[in-house]
Amino acid sequence: MMSNRDKVISIIDRIPDCKMVYVLDMMKSIQGLIVSEPEEVEPDAWDIKMLDEAETINDGTTITLEELAKDLNLDV
């Protein structure tokens, strides 16, 4: 059984060289869609302020999904 990579290579092998520019453009576009590891960014002053505010507001309690739905007047 051929892997997806092998299938793609097989198709590419049948494309004439004069049309490869289109394949290259498509592959570059696809490559741009691939999500890599998220970049680590140090928190700035705004981030730290938001974290501090969230910690102040958050008292550690939780509610169930059903309670939240009831509070929002939603039928679940």
For 5, half-sphere exposure in the C-beta direction (CA atoms, 13 angstrom radius) is 0
**Looking at residue 3, what is its pLDDT?**
94
- Examine residue 24 and state whether it is found in any structural domain, yes or no: yes
Q: Give the number of domains in the chain.
A: 1
For residue range 36-61, list pLDDT tens digits in order. Answer: 777 788 999 999 999 999 999 998 88
Range of the domain at 20: 4-33
- Cβ-contact 75, 69 below 8 angstroms: yes
Q: Determine the Cα–Cα distance for residues 5 and 14; give it in Å rounded to an integer.
A: 15
DSSP designation for 37: P
For residue range 1-28, list pLDDT tens digits in order. Answer: 889 999 999 999 999 999 999 999 999 8
- Examine residue 69 and state whether it is found in any structural domain, yes or no: no
